[in-house]
């Protein structure tokens, strides 16, 4: 419609109103509930469709439901950021015919787990998850053997995304607590919360449930460590797929593929994201000179190095290296730092 005909149309409406004074004086009809936007959270993205779990308080009938939504055209035109709608976004939805809806507005994000596309003039941001509150990094004490370099890498990614992180050591039924503590106790000393658990036994599940209450938690870790099994143990109704597809496809493929939020039936807005996201995140958007800040036990020493731009690798009078030699910083962690600094394990 051209601007002119639009003007004429509006004018016609106005004229029509003026011609019928009794219609103007009528009380405005109460807004139909279907016209009022309802609040919800995006739990899954599938192409241009988003599954939004709406809040019971905002739905007309007081029943929370899942709506398949598209993004309103006008919102698309107003696009102000790279990922307009992401899993985890809190949104306002205009309900449409049964089960559908139109996303009209996206609330500001308080945090994101994102990935930058490298090599572009203005780096584009891929939001993997909006509004995460914390990360739970799961490792198994055995089957698969834990690679602590990989754990360090996960911790660096969480620190760089400013996500509080908790470590869960699963499958302690296979080795006992002592061996698990011998391997992972170091992380508790550094200051990370470590939960020892077994989805099979079960053990540590209450502690996990408390941790997951009232928050959006990104659950991450290598394939086969029992992430889905632990979530199932916390909430047996969820029935996430478990098992090891690696034997089947022989590709090291993850059983859990797409990023998705799962609602937990306790607390207020408790969700887990059983997402491939964080493990797919490279370290390429972390500048090497910032890496030192993501090894939290190194922080107290950083200002005592002789050279301000010290990389804590080869420079003389390096306070970090001195701390390693004195046993204040674990040699394995320092080794991880050097490897990441030099681009090993770097994507
Ligand atoms: N012994 C023992 N086995 C476990 C435990 N938790 C999980 N498993 C087994 O470990 C295997 C992998 O478990 P999943 O829960 O599928 O692992 P996942 O981390 O979700 O794996 P991906 O989805 O591929 O990333 C399954 O065969 C589980 O039965 C545990 O506490 N003890
Ligand atoms: Mg899984
Ligand atoms: Zn130094």
Nearest to residue 41, comparing CAs of 74, 75, 86, 79?
86
Residue 279's pLDDT is what?
A: 52
Residue 25's pLDDT is what?
A: 43
Residue 123's pLDDT is what?
A: 60
Query: Ligand 1 atom 10: the closest Cα is on which residue?
Result: 226
CA distance linking residue 117 with residue 18, whole number of Å = 56
Among 236, 261, 280, the domain boundary falls at: 280
**Distances from the Cα of 177 to the Cα of 73, 172, 194, angstroms:** 55, 6, 12
- SS3 state of residue 68: strand
**Distances from the Cα of 249 to the Cα of 117, 145, 227, 255, 309, angstroms:** 29, 20, 20, 11, 47
Same domain, yes or no, for 157 and 256?
yes
CA distance linking residue 240 with residue 305, whole number of Å = 49
Same domain, yes or no, for 155 and 257?
yes
Same domain, yes or no, for 101 and 144?
no
Nearest to residue 222, comparing CAs of 152, 283, 129, 151?
151
Residue 239's pLDDT is what?
A: 72
Q: Is the CB of 172 under 6 A from ligand 1?
A: no
Q: Is the CB of 175 under 6 A from ligand 1?
A: no
146 CA distance to ligand 2 centroid (A)?
17
Same domain, yes or no, for 154 and 273?
yes
Q: How many CB atoms lie within 10 A of CB 333?
A: 21
Residue 30 within any structural domain of the chain: no
| Residue 131 and residue 141 in contact, taking contact as beta carbons nearer than 8 Å | no
Query: Ligand 1 atom 14: the closest Cα is on which residue?
Result: 226
227 CA distance to ligand 2 centroid (A)?
5
Residue 89 within any structural domain of the chain: yes
Same domain, yes or no, for 334 and 270?
no
Nearest to residue 275, comparing CAs of 138, 111, 164?
138
> For position 134, which CATH number holds?
3.40.50.300
Same domain, yes or no, for 154 and 272?
yes
Give the domain range for residue 253.
129-280
Q: How many CB atoms lie within 10 A of CB 90?
A: 19
| Residue 59 and residue 65 in contact, taking contact as beta carbons nearer than 8 Å | yes
H helical segments located in the chain: 3-19, 21-25, 73-77, 148-160, 177-190, 205-212, 227-234, 246-249, 277-280, 319-325, 331-341
Residue 24 within any structural domain of the chain: no
Residue 162 within any structural domain of the chain: yes
Residue 28 within any structural domain of the chain: no
What does pLDDT average to in each consecutive run of 10 residues of the chain (347 residues)?
A: 35 37 46 71 91 88 89 80 87 91 94 69 73 94 94 90 94 98 97 98 97 94 90 84 48 51 91 66 73 97 96 97 98 96 67
Query: Ligand 1 atom 30: the closest Cα is on which residue?
Result: 171
Q: Tell me the pTM.
A: 0.82
Residue 65 within any structural domain of the chain: yes
Q: Is the CB of 260 under 6 A from ligand 1?
A: no
């Amino acid at each position: 419609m051209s601007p002119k005909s639009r003007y004429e149309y509006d004018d016609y409406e106005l004229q029509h109103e003026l011609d019928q004074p009794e219609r103007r004086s009528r009380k405005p009809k109460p807004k139909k509930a279907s016209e009022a936007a309802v609040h919800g959270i995006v739990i899954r993205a599938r192409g241009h469709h988003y599954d939004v779990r709406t809040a019971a308080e905002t739905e007309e009938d007081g029943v929370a439901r899942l709506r398949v939504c598209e993004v309103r055209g006008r919102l698309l035109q107003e696009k102000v950021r790279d990922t307009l709608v992401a899993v985890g976004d809190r949104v306002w939805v205009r309900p449409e015919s049964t089960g559908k809806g139109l996303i009209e507005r996206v609330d500001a994000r308080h945090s994101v787990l994102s990935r930058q596309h490298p090599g572009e003039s203005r780096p584009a941001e891929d939001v993997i998850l909006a509004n995460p509150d914390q990360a739970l990094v799961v490792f198994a004490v055995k089957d698969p053997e834990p690679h602590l370099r990989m754990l360090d890498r996960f911790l660096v990614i969480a620190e760089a995304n400013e996500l509080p992180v908790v470590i869960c050591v699963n499958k302690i039924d296979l080795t006992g607590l002592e061996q698990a503590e011998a391997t992972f106790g170091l992380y508790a000393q550094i200051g990370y919360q470590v939960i020892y658990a077994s989805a099979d036994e079960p053990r540590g599940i209450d502690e996990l449930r408390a941790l997951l209450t009232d928050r959006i938690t990104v659950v991450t870790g290598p394939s086969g460590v029992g992430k889905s099994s632990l979530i199932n143990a916390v909430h047996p109704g969820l029935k996430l797929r478990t098992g090891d597809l690696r034997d089947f496809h022989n590709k090291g493929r993850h059983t859990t593929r797409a990023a998705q939020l799962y609602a937990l039936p306790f607390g207020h807005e408790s969700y887990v994201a059983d997402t491939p996201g964080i493990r797919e995140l490279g370290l390429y958007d972390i500048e090497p000179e910032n890496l030192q800040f993501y090894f939290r036990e190194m922080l107290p020493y950083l200002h005592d190095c002789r050279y301000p731009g010290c990389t804590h690798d080869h420079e003389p009078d390096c306070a970090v290296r001195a701390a390693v030699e004195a046993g204040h910083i674990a040699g394995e962690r320092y080794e991880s730092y050097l490897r990441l600094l030099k681009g090993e394990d770097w994507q």
